Amino acid sequence: MFPASRLTRTVRALFLPLVAGLALTAAPAPAAHAAATLANPGFESGTAGWSTRSATGHHSASFVEAGGRSGASRLSHWAPTAYRVETYQSLTGLPDGPHTLTAWVRSGGGRHAAHLSLRDCGAPEQRTDLPVTPDGRWMRIVTSVRVTSGRCTVAITSDAHAGSWINVDDLTLTAGSTGLSVRGVDVSSLKKSEDLGGVYRDASGTPADALAVLRAAGADHGRLKVWVDPADGYHDKARVLETARRIKARGMRLLVDFHYSDTWADPGAQTKPAAWASHSYEQLRADVYDHTRDVLAALKAQGTTADMVQIGNETDSGMLWPEGSTTDWSRLAGLLNAGASAAKSVSSSTRVALHLAHGGDNALYRWWFDAATAHGVRFDVIALSFYGYWHGPLSALQANLDDVSARYGKPVLVVETAYPFRLDDEDGHENIIDRTDELVDGYPATPAGQATWLRDVMNVVEAVPHGRGLGVVYWEPTWTAVRGNGWDPADPSSGNGWENQALFDYADRPLPAMAWLRHR
């Protein structure tokens, strides 16, 4: 539990064996609360209204103690030995239709499983796992189900190692549903990989189309970056058109990411394309409009209209430096609006996203989007990059998503996240994340750790209030180690440093994290 006093732990360690032994022979737990609303949702009346069961006899591993999120008390699961315990409450008389369970949680990790669930509701059970919260901050998670029988059971379940803990508080069950409309993958590097001999396999080891494998796993959006005149000839208009046809043929939606550069654009580099280098500011506005319209019109003409576009990539400090720097917001706004106007002129239904990095930095997002709105920048979606090893804890992501979605009245989308499934490289090029001290606490560099990371990021986005969390795009799941397909488009000998964060392992097979692309 967090925090827990040494005295509390000591007393429980001394008496738990006796209590557990008694629980094995004790009378059955009292009948769960039968009503249409949750009783004692904040545990201010102890465990009244709630029941406990344990397959291991650890009934006392579920208890109420001081230190609630909003009140005096919280529910905790903890024991000095391995345990499995469930705290649950059954409801009757519910109106049929979708219902959502919301709870505030904390967890120290170290368990096989810990989740909230809605079951016995007349539809398949729905669960949401508790994230690891090493910073001790409360986080909100949700799970939803369609009630068809007027009944439903709310359960909090732990299958844990000795000494591991969870806290749960302030539960609500309300009408309505949750879910994600974007379960995406950025496959910008795929075509180059394939052209250079890259191979992808399905779970049986049979060579397969990587897009087909990702689509079968649940991916419903493909993201492609666009460079103006790249050194290697990839990521330009022609290549984007080619891969877009494949994405749409799989029944996926298309997200186009304009960098407005010949190479990588990010918070530390927003270099103008060589062809635009000597252009005036007014010429640059025309360049942005013409380039954006040209690519999007070509996509529409071939029957692959973009469903969403990003006007710039990780534009924390602007784009097309120096003219488009955030030191001159009037000019930056003009460039952004030029791109947005071009996108809407091709397809009014195409959503325009503005994209920043550092998804846990709320001060940055308030400053940037306050300035953007003050200068009349038009946009439909707030897009974020969030890499936990650089951008802070999941609680910071949640706080930022909650705030900006409400502050600007816009949906939010994590368009970049990833996590390593191992630390060693496959191509002789040092990986970007290759040391244990670079990892996020509670998320090891293992296939299971990678899967848990993607799961928890998706759960955080799903929990954004009022359905404003659109979803998550996994960044470069197909960027495996293929000679020539490196970071530097001008250097065919460069490695990519990313193969340990792909969703295909070093034997080219799908990793467990890919299954989370089927998130509800």
Looking at the annotation, which residues are catalytic?
314, 416
Q: What tokens does 147 get?
A: 């009630």
Q: What is the CA radius of gyration of the chain?
A: 25
Quick check: helix, strand or coil at residue 501? helix
CA-wise closest residue to 84 among 45, 118, 115, 107: 115
C-beta contacts of 65-72 below 8 A and 24+ residues apart: 65/1, 65/8, 67/3, 67/167, 68/42, 68/43, 68/44, 68/169, 68/170, 69/104, 69/138, 69/169, 69/170, 70/42, 70/169, 70/170, 71/42, 71/43, 71/44, 71/169, 71/170, 72/44
In whole angstroms, what is the distance from residue 197 CA to residue 487 CA?
Answer: 17
> Is-contact 287 341, C-beta < 8 A?
no
Picking from 170, 35, 144, 153, the residue whose alpha carbon sits closest to that of residue 87 is: 153
What are the structure tokens assigned to 184, written together? 């995406």
**Distances 218 to 1, 473, 477, 515, 520 between C-alpha atoms, Å:** 35, 12, 13, 7, 10
231-266 burial, b for 16+ CB within 10 Å, e for fewer? ebebbbbebbbebbebbbebebbbbbbbbbbbbbbe
181 near 98, Cβ under 8 Å?
no
Going 299 to 305 to 309 to 311, the CA torsion angle's sign is positive
Report the 10 Å Cβ neighbour count for 215.
19
Running DSSP on this structure, what letter comes out for residue 67? -
Nearest C-alpha neighbor of 86 from the set 154, 39, 16: 154
Q: What share of the chain is helix, strand, coil (3-state, %, to 5)?
A: 30, 25, 45
3-class SS of residue 445: coil
What backbone torsions phi and psi does residue 419 show, to the nearest 5 degrees?
Answer: -160, 145
Q: Which of 451, 374, 357 is nearest to 408 (CA)?
A: 374
Question: What does the DSSP assignment read for 75-136?
Answer: EEEE-SS-EEEEEEEEE-SPPSEEEEEEEEEEE---EEEEEEEEESSSS--EEEEPPP-TT-
Yes or no: say if 64 and 43 are a contact pair by the CB < 8 Å rule.
yes
